[in-house]
Amino acid sequence: MTKRIGIDVGGVITDRVNNDGTDTNFRGDNFMKTSAVKGAFVLIKDLIERYGAQNVFIVSKCGLVIEDKTRRWLDGHNFYQFTGFNPDNLYFCRERADKAPIVQRLGITDFIDDREEVLGYMKGIVKRRYLFGPQTVAPEDPELIIVATMQEVREHLL
């Protein structure tokens, strides 16, 4: 069975750790200067080469303003050209819990997010749930796969 991979944006593709608390985050006017998580674009490119563009998705929770900024940021950073990501596989929702029905409808088998709460909504829907990034506390859900870096994600998915 082919893996179908879902990826969050904030904190997984865009670097929340190094940009939050600065003027280079999606809440301010300098959002185009927000940096990507180290290795995110290369990993997504490699996932697409391995599993096909039809099997890699972005599912992000945000409001309309951040959705617009996210679309502009992805386009402005040549995300689609570099990775081969299909823009039709970009999904947005307004509430964190709303990611789960989208993921279920798409048949996603693996999802990467930096929030345990979001991954909790996907329990029983997604086979493998990856909690990305540095964690300040141990997750409550022992089934989550902890991945601190894109290299660790790579080791699991490629």
Q: pLDDT of 114-150, one tens digit each?
A: 999 999 999 999 999 999 999 888 999 999 999 999 9
State the pLDDT at residue 26. 84
- Is 5-157 a CATH 3.40.50.1000 domain? yes
Question: At a CB cut-off of 8 Å and minimum separation 6, what does 36 contact?
Answer: 13, 14, 15, 77
pLDDT at 24 over 70: no
State the pLDDT at residue 16. 85
Average pLDDT, the chain: 95
Average pLDDT over residues 17-40: 84
**pTM listed for this prediction:** 0.96
pLDDT at 90 over 70: yes
Tell me which DSSP letter residue 111 carries.
Answer: E
